[in-house]
C-alpha cells in the first residue's frame, strides 16, 4: 500500500482543491509541490510529482491553467475520481493532497462555511474502495464542518488503513523562541492568543494549543465541556479570572504585533482599558480536559496580528511561552512560508507512509471549533462535549515544527 522508500520510484500525487488562486491555500500548497520551496538552507524540490489536479471552483483569478502550462506533466481532470485514476478504472496515484479551504460554499445556520472536505473525502475513498487500495492522504486544515463527518473521516482512514494527516500550519511553523513543549510535563492551564474570526482562525488558535499540550503527561485525554465568551461577557470573564491573566500576559509578551494603545508610541503593553478599546469583538473558547487541564483560545482582533501560546508547567518558575510565527503575505512578507513545513511534513508522510502527527489532534480541534461556534449560537452556554471526551491519543514524541 505504501511507498517503498528505498525504490527510485517518485511518488505520483493527485491534488484536489477548492480553488487555485493567488494566496489561497490551494495555491500555497500545490505550488510548493510543483515549484519547490526554501527548506533547510537550500531550494528544495520534493522528490515526488503532482500528476493530476482537480479544481472545484475556477473563474476569475484562477491560476491552474498557468500552472499546468508551465508543468506539462500535470493534467487537469473534470472529476475527482478521474483525478485519482488518471482516467483509468483504478487508483493510479501514490498520494492525495486535498485543500478544502476557501472557495464559495453555503453557510451552516451557525455561520460555519460548508467547505467540502467531507464530500472530497467521500469521492476519494470511493476510488480507494473500488480499487481495493488506499494511499496516504493530506487534508489541509480542519476535517469537516460537522462532527459526524469529521469522525467518519478518521474512522474510515483507520478502516481502510491509510495515513491521514491534516491540520493547520500553526502546529508546524517557526516558533520564536524555538522551543518545544516538554514531553510528559504536567500542565494545569494553557492559552493561545490570536486574531481572525470564528469558524476560520479559531482553528489556528486551537491547533496552536494542541500541538503543545498533547505532549503533556499521559497525552491527550479528551475534552468534557466548552464555553464561548464574547463581548462584555468576555471582559467579565477576564476580570473574574476564568482564564489566568498572567498566562495571557505571557503570551502577549511574545507577540510582535501589539497594537500601540497610545498614538505616538510604537510598542507598549496595553492596560485592560486599552485592550477593551482596541478589541471590539473579543472571543474566548474556554474548555476543560478530562485530566483537569483547562485551555482557553482567545481571538483578540484589533490588538494582535499573530498567534502566541503560554502555559503554566509544573516545576517551571514562569510561564512557558512562544510565538507560532507566520510569515504573512499581507504586506509583512510576500511568501506564506508557513506552508513550507506543512508541505514538508506531508512529503514525509508520502515518502514513509506514516502520518507525522496524529489525525486525532485535528479531529479534536475540528470538534472544538464546532463546539465553540455552537456555544456562541446557544447564547454562550457551556456545552457538554461527550464526543470530544472520547478523543484520546498519544503525540509523536519527535518534534515536527520548523527548526532547520
Partner 1 sequence: MLTRRRFVGYSALSSAMLAYRPLLHNGWAQTPTQRPLRLAILGSVYRYQSNMQTLADRFLVGYPYDGEWHMPNVQVVSVYVDQLARQAEAAPSPYQLAMTGAKVAPASSAKGIAGGLGRDLAVGAQPSHEKAEPISDLSRARSQKFGFRLCSNIPEALRCGGDRIAVDAVLTIVEQDDYPSNDRGQILLPGYDFFQQCVEVFEDEGHTVPYFNHKQLSYSFEQAQAMVKTANRLRFPLLAGSSLPVTWRLPDVDIPLGAEVEEAVMVGVGGFDGSDFDALEALQCMLERRKGGETGVKAVQLLEGDDVWAAGNAGRWSRDLLSSALSRSDTPLGLTVLDGRTQDLVASGVLPQLVKNPAAYCIEYTDGTRATVLMLNGAIQDFNISARVAGHGMVSTQFFLPPAPNESYSACLAAKIEQMFQTRSTAYPVERTLLTTGLLEACLHSRHKLNQRLETPQLAISYQPPAEPQYART
Under 8 Å between Cβ of 351 and 138: no
Burial label for 36, CB within 10 Å (0-12, 13-18, 19+), is middle
Among 76, 113, 242, 335, the residue binding partner 1 under the rule CB under 8 A is 335
Site string for partner 1, 284-323 (x = CB under 8 A): ----------------------------------xx-x--
Least distance to partner 1 from the beta carbon of 4, Å? Answer: 28
Give the range of 5-13, 94-102, 211-219, 326-334 binding partner 1 by CB under 8 A.
Answer: 326-334
The dihedral region occupied by 388, where left means phi > 0, alpha psi between -120 and 50, and beta the remainder, is alpha
Q: How far apart are CA 66 and CA 266, in angstroms?
A: 42
- 72 exposure class (CB count in 10 Å sphere: 0-12, 13-18, 19+): exposed
The answer to whether 69 contacts partner 1 (rule: CB under 8 A) is: no
Coil/strand/helix, residue 140: strand
How is residue 109 written as a grid cell? 445556520
Work out how close the CB of 108 gets to partner 1 at its nearest, in angstroms, rounded to a whole number: 29
Exactly one of 35, 155, 232, 281 binds partner 1 (CB under 8 A); that residue is: 35
Where in 222-271 does DSSP place strands (E)?
A: 223-230
The binder of partner 1 chosen from 147, 174, 309, 344 (CB under 8 A): 174
For strands 294-299 and 283-289, give the pairing: antiparallel
Cα-flanking dihedrals φ and ψ of residue 399, to 5°?
-80, 140
C-alpha distance from residue 347 to each of 48, 51, 122 (Å):
8, 15, 23
> Least distance in Å: CB of 246 to partner 1?
8
Contact residue for partner 1 among 117, 151, 254, 289 (CB under 8 A): 254
Applying CB under 8 A, the span of 138-146, 207-215, 228-236, 334-342 interacting with partner 1 comes to 334-342
Q: Which three cell numbers stand for residue 86?
A: 488518471
Residues forming a β-bridge with 49: 12
The residue (of 132 and 241) whose beta carbon lies closer to partner 1 is: 241
Q: How far apart (Å, rounded) are the C-alpha atoms in residues 347 and 398?
A: 16
Closer Cβ to partner 1, 89 or 239, answer by number: 239
Q: Of 7 and 334, which has the nearer Cβ to partner 1? A: 334
On whether the CB atoms of residues 129 and 121 are closer than 8 A, the answer is no
Task: Give dist(CA 225, CA 380) in Å, integer.
Answer: 12
Q: Is 102 in the site for partner 1 (CB under 8 A)?
A: no
- Selected from 4, 8, 104, 334, the binder of partner 1 by CB under 8 A is 334
> Locate cell 473534470: which residue?
78
Grid cell, residue 333, equals 512578507
Q: Report the nearest approach of partner 1 to the CB of residue 340 (Å).
A: 8
Taking the complex as a whole, the smallest distance from the CB of residue 2 to partner 1 amounts, in Å, to 27
Enclosing H/E stretch for 124: helix 117-131
Q: Which stretch binds partner 1 (CB under 8 A): 9-17, 256-264, 286-294, 365-373?
A: 256-264
Binding mask 266-285 for partner 1 (x = CB under 8 A): xxxxxxxxx-----------
Cβ closer to partner 1: 240 or 266? 266
Q: Is residue 18 close enough to count as binding partner 1 by CB under 8 A?
A: no
Pick the closer one to partner 1 by CB: 8 or 42.
42
Contacts to partner 1 by CB under 8 A: 22-23, 27-28, 31-32, 35-39, 41-44, 63, 66, 174, 176-178, 246, 249-250, 253-258, 260, 262, 264-274, 318-319, 321, 325, 327, 329, 332-337, 402-404
Amino acid at each position: 500500500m505504501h511507498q517503498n522508500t528505498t525504490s527510485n520510484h517518485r511518488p505520483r500525487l493527485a491534488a484536489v482543491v477548492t480553488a487555485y488562486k493567488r494566496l489561497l491555500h490551494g495555491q500555497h500548497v500545490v505550488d510548493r509541490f510543483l515549484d519547490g520551496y526554501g527548506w533547510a538552507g537550500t531550494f528544495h524540490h520534493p522528490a515526488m510529482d503532482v500528476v493530476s489536479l482537480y479544481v472545484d471552483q475556477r473563474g476569475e483569478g484562477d491560476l491552474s491553467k498557468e500552472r499546468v502550462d508551465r508543468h506539462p506533466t500535470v493534467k487537469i481532470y473534470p472529476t475527482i475520481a478521474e483525478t485519482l485514476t488518471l482516467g483509468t478504472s483504478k487508483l493510479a496515484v501514490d498520494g492525495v493532497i486535498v485543500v478544502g479551504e476557501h472557495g464559495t460554499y453555503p453557510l451552516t445556520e451557525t455561520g460555519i462555511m460548508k467547505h467540502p472536505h467531507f464530500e472530497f473525502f467521500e469521492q476519494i475513498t470511493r476510488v480507494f474502495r473500488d480499487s481495493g487500495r488506499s494511499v496516504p492522504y493530506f487534508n489541509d486544515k480542519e476535517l469537516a464542518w460537522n462532527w459526524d463527518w469529521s469522525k467518519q473521516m478518521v474512522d474510515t482512514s483507520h478502516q481502510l488503513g491509510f495515513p491521514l494527516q491534516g491540520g493547520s500550519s500553526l502546529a508546524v511553523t517557526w516558533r520564536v523562541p524555538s522551543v518545544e513543549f516538554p514531553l510528559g510535563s504536567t500542565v494545569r492551564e494553557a492559552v493561545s492568543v490570536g486574531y481572525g474570526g470564528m469558524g476560520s482562525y479559531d482553528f489556528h488558535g486551537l491547533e496552536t494549543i494542541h500541538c503543545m499540550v498533547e505532549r503533556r503527561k499521559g497525552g491527550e485525554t479528551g475534552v468534557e465541556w466548552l464555553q464561548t465568551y464574547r463581548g462584555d461577557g468576555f471582559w467579565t470573564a477576564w476580570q473574574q479570572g476564568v482564564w489566568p491573566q498572567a498566562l495571557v500576559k505571557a503570551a502577549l509578551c511574545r507577540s510582535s504585533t501589539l497594537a500601540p494603545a497610545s498614538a505616538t508610541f510604537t510598542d507598549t503593553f496595553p492596560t485592560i482599558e486599552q485592550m477593551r478599546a482596541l478589541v471590539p469583538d473579543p472571543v474566548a473558547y474556554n474548555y476543560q480536559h478530562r485530566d483537569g487541564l483547562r485551555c482557553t483560545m482567545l481571538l483578540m482582533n484589533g490588538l494582535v496580528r499573530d498567534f502566541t501560546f503560554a502555559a503554566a508547567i509544573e516545576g517551571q518558575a514562569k510561564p512557558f511561552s512562544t510565538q507560532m510565527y507566520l510569515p504573512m503575505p499581507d504586506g509583512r512578507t510576500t511568501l506564506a512560508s508557513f506552508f513550507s513545513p506543512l508541505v514538508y511534513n506531508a512529503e514525509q508522510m508520502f515518502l514513509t507512509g506514516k502520518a507525522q502527527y496524529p489525525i486525532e489532534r485535528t479531529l479534536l480541534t475540528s470538534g472544538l471549533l464546532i463546539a465553540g461556534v455552537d456555544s456562541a449560537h446557544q447564547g454562550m452556554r457551556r456545552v457538554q462535549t461527550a464526543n470530544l471526551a472520547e478523543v484520546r491519543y498519544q503525540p509523536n514524541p519527535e518534534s515536527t515544527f520548523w527548526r532547520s
